[in-house]
Amino acid sequence: TQPDLALPVGTTLDRFILSEQSAFPFATGELSQLLRDIALASKIINREINRAGLIDVTGATGTDNVQGESQQKLDVIANIRFIRALKNGGEVCAIISEEEDDIILTGNPNGKYVVAIDPLDGSSNIDVNVSIGTIFSIYRRVSPVGSVPTLADLLQGGRQQVAAGYVLYGSSTILVFTTGQGVNGFTLDQSLGEYILSHTDIKQPRTGSIFSCNEGNVAEYPDKIQTYLNTCRQRRMTGRYIGSLVADFHRNLIKGGIYLYPSTRKSPGGKLRLLYECFPMAFIAEQAGGKATDGRQAILDITPTDLHQRLVLYVGSPDLIDELLTTI
């Protein structure tokens, strides 16, 4: 049964989670607790981000992550905070993080869930006070409760996600997530430390006037993508690119638009990661009436083979995605 989404704007996250849980009479509350654990960790990260310039957590650590990308201090802090929150919460038996090579076993073998997470996406924007975000994806484990979690728990495929969401640390901090019952947004009231329902049942506009891609790479894009972008320009669409997936995605979700990260010389297979960027964003997009594709198939239909595999991503308003696919 559909949960009672008539909850008024202003409802707290906890009350909303309880109302969603009530739609699942057999729910035992573990997923609800897991969502609360993620929300708590995001409040801690939010505080660190807001103080970044004051407590010397900007800049790079001097180490690289599994992606070969320079780790920022806040990347590492966010990774530690989320892993600790999920370990202490007890609901999660395994985690895959952008910042860690291998699966992280939480020491909770009875945890029913596994989480794929990009603790801090867009972190090259930190030092210049541009929006960054956290992206998460939640699955029920397929291995027996009590056993050692396996790769299969994390490579189930996008359609097996039980929840997905992001936190955008922007002009305000907003948590947007879905459990398959639509998409809702909660703005953090900093004075209360509470997430408050501010965007009920978010629907992706069918079309839009914004295209979002790194125009510095356009010359490397496949011809058909360049053709599509020329069409956007001829239609006087607006180019907007923040360089932070969560921020670009959220703007397009609210206003309508299309985000494109095609193959480039540096990333011939695409740059964005399937498990903790594309799958969760695709789940949210589809739940809001949008579309997400790699140009050949829906992102959610892709069978994952590697924890950190990358791919091409086109996501946003369904009519714009359809036009792109027609062009391709």
Q: Which is nearer to ligand P6P, 18 or 66 (CB)?
A: 66
Residue 122 labelled as part of a binding site: yes
Question: Which string of b and e fits 270-294 if b means at least 16 CB within 10 Å?
Answer: bbbbbbbbbbbbbbbbbbbbbbbbb
Enter the tokens of residue 55: 């407590």
Q: Which is nearer to ligand P6P, 61 or 214 (CB)?
A: 214
Among 11, 42, 244, 252, binds ligand P6P (CB under 6 A): 244
Q: Which is nearer to ligand P6P, 170 or 243 (CB)?
A: 243
Q: DSSP letters along 226-253, please?
A: HHHHHHHHHTTPEE---S-HHHHHHHHH
Task: Tell me the per-residue interface mask from 264 to 303 with ligand P6P, x by CB under 6 A, - otherwise.
Answer: -------xx-------------------------------
Nearest distance, CB of residue 100 and ligand P6P, angstroms: 16
Nearest distance, CB of residue 286 and ligand P6P, angstroms: 19
Regarding 309 and contact with ligand P6P (CB under 6 A), the answer is no
Work out the number of other CB atoms within 10 angstroms of the CB of residue 300: 18
Q: How far apart are CA 22 and CA 2, in angstroms?
A: 10
Among 89, 122, 149, 257, binds ligand P6P (CB under 6 A): 122
Q: How far apart are CA 153 and CA 112, in angstroms?
A: 10
Regarding 99 and contact with ligand P6P (CB under 6 A), the answer is no
What is the helix (H) or strand (E) element at residue 51, kind and residue range?
none
Task: Tell me the per-residue interface mask from 214 to 233 with ligand P6P, x by CB under 6 A, - otherwise.
Answer: x-------------------
Partners of 292 in beta bridges: 315
Residue type, 238: T
Q: From the annotation, which residues make up the binding site for substrate? A: 121-124, 214, 241, 259-261, 271
Chain residues that interact with ligand P6P, rule: CB under 6 A = 121-122, 124, 214, 243-245, 248, 271-272
